């Protein structure tokens, strides 16, 4: 509750032109925007750009924001939409030079690292619905709206992705049992 009240005060200050409040809100929600962008794109440089644009877009549109609502989900939504736009645009781009990845993609000590890496290795269309549903907590209907797809298509992609991940996990567990 206090956090929401803080946001309302900060939003009021930003609307009146306060650079300090702008910076405070930017820093507070930058990790939210970046995490959403990175989950969708799996590209740190692209996540930097998407998060930057999403935050600037959020803060430029604060006049229209209903500050009785929480800001976090709105930030996440804008970052996810921008990231999806970038993925669509990226397919049309021809890379002159493949940039080297800078910084780690993973928390190497995370307990479910192998499963997360298996998600990353899915085909892009399946990976996107898994990420949106399981990591960014969107319902199937919301994902269908975001991607402009029928609900049945989203459901079938989720089902096929889960089947692939399950068989991968089972194989891995069998290998581990054999090794033990």
Least separation in angstroms between residue 40's CB and another protein is 11
Q: Does 49 contact another protein by CB under 8 A?
A: yes
| Residues between 52 and 81 that touch another protein (CB under 8 A) | 52-53, 55-56, 59
Q: What SS3 string covers 15-46? A: HCCCHHHHHHHHHHHHHHHHHHHHHHHCCHHH
**Residues 149, 72, 12, 27, CA torsion sign:** negative
Q: Quick check: 6 binds another protein (CB under 8 A)?
A: yes
Q: In angstroms, what is the minimal distance from the CB of 53 to another protein?
A: 7
Written as six digits, the tokens of 75 are: 């930030």
The conformation of residue 63, written as its DSSP 8-state character, comes to G
d(CA 163, CA 68): 41
Largest Cα separation within the chain, whole Å, is 65
- 112 near another protein (CB under 8 A): yes
Q: How many residues does the chain have?
A: 180
Interacting span for another protein (CB under 8 A) from 15-23, 62-70, 72-80, 144-152? 15-23
Nearer to another protein, 44 or 153 (CB): 44
Per rule CB under 8 A, is residue 30 in the interface with another protein? yes
Among the candidate windows 13-21, 62-70, 73-81, 144-152, which touches another protein by CB under 8 A? 13-21
44 lies in the site for another protein, by CB under 8 A: yes
123 lines the binding site for another protein (CB under 8 A): no
93 binds another protein (CB under 8 A): yes
Residues 6+ apart with CB under 8 A from 99: 45
């Amino acid at each position: 509750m206090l956090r929401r009240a803080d946001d309302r005060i900060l939003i009021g200050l930003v609307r009146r032109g306060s650079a300090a409040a702008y910076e405070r809100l930017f820093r507070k929600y930058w990790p939210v925007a970046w995490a959403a962008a990175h989950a969708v794109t799996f590209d740190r440089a692209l996540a930097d750009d998407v998060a930057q644009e999403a935050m600037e877009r959020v803060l430029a549109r604060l006049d229209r924001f209903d500050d009785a609502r929480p800001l976090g989900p709105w930030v996440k939504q804008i970052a996810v939409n921008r990231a999806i736009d970038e993925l669509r645009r990226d397919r049309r781009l021809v890379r002159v030079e493949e940039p080297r990845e800078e910084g780690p993609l993973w928390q190497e000590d995370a307990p479910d690292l192998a499963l997360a890496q298996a998600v990353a290795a899915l085909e892009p269309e399946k990976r996107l619905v898994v990420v949106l549903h399981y990591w960014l907590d969107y319902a199937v209907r919301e994902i269908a709206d975001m991607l402009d797809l029928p609900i049945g298509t989203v459901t079938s992609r989720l089902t096929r992705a889960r089947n692939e991940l399950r068989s991968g996990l089972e194989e891995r567990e069998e290998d581990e049992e054999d090794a033990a």
